[in-house]
Amino acid sequence: MHIFFGTNCEAIFKNLQVMEKDIVRENTPPDINQKVDTEMHQHLNQYYNDPSKIDRRLCELDHEWDIERVLELNAAVLSLMGLLNKHFQRAKI
């Protein structure tokens, strides 16, 4: 069993964290940040040890993005309908 958390990738990850100023992390309690980091490392270990999970997760994300696109389209259509409605109401007056 490989442990992603203990490899050079951990050092790279820490270097990336240091390079970026993260306002959210700075304003979040340390115990919450530690919990998020631990969960992230657990997920990275799972994907490293079972690459087939990556494909499954990508399919889940595709599905989520499809739903998000539909919701964005609905919002755009409703906005356009509101504008057209207002335009035609003015034309009648």
Q: What is the mean pLDDT of residues 12-26?
A: 68
Question: Are the CB atoms for 2 and 48 separated by under 8 Å?
Answer: yes
The predicted-structure confidence for 44-72, as pLDDT tens digits, reads as follows 898 889 988 988 888 888 888 888 888 99
- Predicted TM-score of the model (pTM): 0.46
Q: What is the per-residue pLDDT for 11?
A: 60
Residues 6+ apart with CB under 8 A from 1: 49
Residues 6+ apart with CB under 8 A from 46: 53
